[in-house]
Amino acid sequence: MADTIATPSDQAARRISIGFINFAHAIDHYVILIFPTVAIALEAVHGRPYAELIALGTASFVTFGIFSLPAGWLADRWSRRNMMALFYFGCGVSLLAAALSPTLIVLAGALFLLGMFAAIYHPVGMAMLIEASKARGRTLAFNGVCGNLGVALAAGITAFIAAYFSWRAAFALPALVCVATGLAYLWIVPDDRHHAAKRKSSPEVRVSKALATVIFGLFIVIALGAGLAFNIITVALPKIVDERIQNLSLEQVGWVATMVLIAGGLAQLAVGRLVEYIAPHFLFAIVTGLLFAGVTWSLFVTGPMLMVALTVAMVGLYGQVTVNDMVIARYTADAWRGRVYAVRYFLVFISAGASVAAIAFFHSRGGFDLVLFVTAIIAFVFFASTLVLALLVAKPESRRATAAQPAE
């Protein structure tokens, strides 16, 4: 209904806002994944083992999760637009600090700040996207592709800059992009503080309190599974390529990893279309099943077939993000979405710190055979949880609207 009364200027403003949100998603995943590729270059610079260097990124992934909670709360209570501006400027300053770091300890501190500001995007950006968009399946899918392109390009571009310039330039150049975009965002996108009190306080689909409690418990498991699987695979991918495909330079490692990520990420566009024909909860189980199959397959192959297996895993890994967000949006009121997404991404990204530590721990004891085996177990639990969720919400009684309940 809102689209039928929206003026052309309102629609243009909405499209511009969505454009900035999509670009921010790409930037968010790109900047947080600069360090895993830089860590390979730092092995030669500092003469330290990979397991020790990659652990320096733990703080950034921990703050990436923790600070999503206050970010979502502030966005709902203050201004989503201003929080997004803070995201751009904060990431830019943190990247510059990383580029100028004189020691590894200072670098770890800069990565801590980067994770803190990068945490803003997901609870705030997703709430803004749901509010601005009416064609949720396609819009969320395209937004997911933007984020996944950020993931995919991080390895290749970072490796290229580090190889031809320096590892410091790999942080400094994206910093300039972040600051410039932040200035443009403040100039073009108007403040939205006056909208906070007008947001809806009831969800699209209501369920009984008992079912809501079960769904909430499942989403805790799902969020943790998604976070662990996503971060183990994306953080470890450059090193998996480096170890299991022989005779590649750093730049070639980066671009092979990029190709795998792009091939998997583009499948998310198909997921955005499929959700118009397949119920989101069933599609959720299908894509997490692909993730489990791909990770399990990767245990038994090397060389080019390993890349095929990892691509299958990426299709599931990326596809689940879009469907996950859609399912949450159906059961969450707009006035609370920032906080609900904050809780989800807190769980997803707090597990990222555990993921980096797990890579270091298991790699030092059994290489990537052990890392991938543990990831396969996580992927199975993730898949089983989504399957149970699909069976629960598919029941006729779960689809009936109940009496109006308080937003809390």
pLDDT at 202 over 70: no
Distance CA 84, CA 401 (A): 35
Residue whose pair of structure tokens reads 């990420």 in the numeric block: 265
Residue 166 has phi, psi (to 5 degrees) of -170, 165
pLDDT digits (tens, 9 = 90+) for 120-152: 998 888 878 877 766 566 777 788 778 878 877
pLDDT at 63 over 70: yes
Copy the structure tokens of residue 297: 């397959």
Taking only Cα atoms into account, the Rg of the chain, rounded to an integer number of angstroms, comes to: 21
pLDDT digits (tens, 9 = 90+) for 365-381: 888 889 899 999 999 99
Sign of CA dihedral 344, 348, 354, 356: negative
* Contact yes or no for 85/108 (Cβ under 8 A): no
Distance CA 145, CA 151 (A): 10
Alpha-carbon torsion, ordered 293, 294, 298, 301, to 10 deg: 90
pTM over 0.75: no
